[in-house]
Amino acid sequence: MRIVLKLGTSTLTHPTGNLNIRRVEELCKVCSDLKNAGHELVLVSSGAVAMGVGKLSLAERPKDIPGKQAAAAVGQCELMYIYDKLYSQYHHVVAQLLITADDIETPERAKNFHNTLARLLQLRTLPIINENDTVATQELGIGDNDTLAAIVARTIRADLLILFSDIDGLFTADPHSDPAAKLIPVVERLTPEIERLACGAGSKFGTGGMQTKLHAAHIATEAGVPMVIANGAQPAALYDLMDGKPVGTKFLAQEAEA
């Protein structure tokens, strides 16, 4: 299977904003194992801003765009350093791709991006993509890696897009404000009722909340790519997903109109 896995900031870091070492180590182990089993994997990883905040010892996540961009520039190095170190233990080679929406929407650039990614997969590397926060301020807006992951999944015709978050999936309401909220296991169609379930960002460091995840679901499912939102706290759930077992919320791919 060809899988695009998006890792949100809240999956990679503790609520303090510091790296969740146990989680990231587990994730790297499971992802390495999936690659060993023959699956093609592409990661879309957030976390650059949070890592930069830690590295620069800032008291909180910057609110202004240049502040976020500076933190991301520092944090992206740290993020890739950690991935490189951990994946090297399992003899996997990582590659960094920093892109913007423009890079995929402009035909010439999209071709270049696609060619690079295809060759990296052929070379059995693990491509790790993040938004190029230094220049991307309008198209995707900083923090919308959910949309970016969906665009990537569409571009490489992935078999599955997985968004790992700090929550088990899409609920009937935000469980952080409504304890009676129930998990929705399958979404067959993105109706206006489903859209209304998404509120803003839930965690201190995550930015998109459910809105950007539903936007991603639109892009992916319309392109024929099914999408799952699952809790990144259990990286081993990836094995169940590969076995076709129900995990989190699955958004079914939409059939093309005849």
Ligand X SMILES: N[C@@H](CCC(=O)OP(=O)(O)O)C(=O)O
Report the b/e string of 13-22 with b at 16+ CB within 10 A. Answer: beeebebbee
What is the rounded distance in angstroms from the CA atom of residue 81 to the CA atom of residue 70? Answer: 17
Q: Which is nearer to ligand ADP, 10 or 125 (CB)?
A: 10
Q: How far is CA 218 from the centre of its chain?
A: 15
Question: Which residues ranging from 97 to 136 are in contact with ligand ADP (CB under 6 A)?
Answer: none
Q: Is 190 in the site for ligand ADP (CB under 6 A)?
A: no
Q: Mark 7-46 with x for binding to ligand ADP (rule: CB under 6 A) and - for no binding.
A: -xxxx-----------------------------------
The answer on whether 207 is annotated among ligand-binding residues is yes
- Considering CB under 6 A, how many residues would be counted as binding ligand ADP? 24
What is the rounded distance in angstroms from the CA atom of residue 171 to the CA atom of residue 11? Answer: 18
The answer on whether 210 is annotated among ligand-binding residues is yes
How open is the CA angle 141-139-257, to the nearest 5 degrees?
115
Query: Looking at the DSSP assignment, which residues form a beta bridge with residue 128?
Result: 43, 96
What is the rounded distance in angstroms from the CA atom of residue 101 to the CA atom of residue 125? Answer: 23
Q: Which residue is nearest to ligand ADP (CB)?
A: 202
Q: Is 145 in the site for ligand X (CB under 6 A)?
A: yes
| Partner from ligand X, ligand ADP, none contacting 170, C-beta within 5 to 8 A by type | ligand ADP
Q: Is 13 in the site for ligand X (CB under 6 A)?
A: no
* Element holding 42 (H helix, E strand): strand 40-45
| Partner from ligand X, ligand ADP, none contacting 183, C-beta within 5 to 8 A by type | none
Q: Is 197 in the site for ligand ADP (CB under 6 A)?
A: yes
What is the rounded distance in angstroms from the CA atom of residue 229 to the CA atom of residue 49? Answer: 22
Which of 132, 137, 170 shows the shortest CA–CA distance to 44?
A: 132
Q: Which two tokens stand for residue 172?
A: 């009937």
Q: Which is nearer to ligand ADP, 50 or 104 (CB)?
A: 50
Could you tell me if 129 and 100 are in contact, meaning their C-beta atoms sit under 8 angstroms apart? no
Q: How far is the CB of 256 from ligand X (least distance, A)?
A: 29
Q: Is 20 in the site for ligand X (CB under 6 A)?
A: no
DSSP SS3 for 87: helix
Question: Which residues ranging from 198 to 257 are in contact with ligand X (CB under 6 A)?
Answer: 205-208
Which one of the spans 84-92, 138-146, 172-180, 190-198 is the region binding ligand X (CB under 6 A)? 138-146
Q: How far is the CB of 218 from ligand ADP (least distance, A)?
A: 16
What is the rounded distance in angstroms from the CA atom of residue 146 to the CA atom of residue 152? Answer: 10
Q: Which two tokens stand for residue 175?
A: 């469980």
Q: Is 147 in the site for ligand X (CB under 6 A)?
A: no
Could you tell me if 133 and 46 are in contact, meaning their C-beta atoms sit under 8 angstroms apart? no
Q: Is 202 in the site for ligand ADP (CB under 6 A)?
A: yes
Binding site for ligand X (CB under 6 A): 8-9, 46-50, 72, 130-131, 133, 142-143, 145, 205-208
Binding site for ligand ADP (CB under 6 A): 8-11, 165-167, 170-171, 173-176, 197-199, 201-203, 206-210
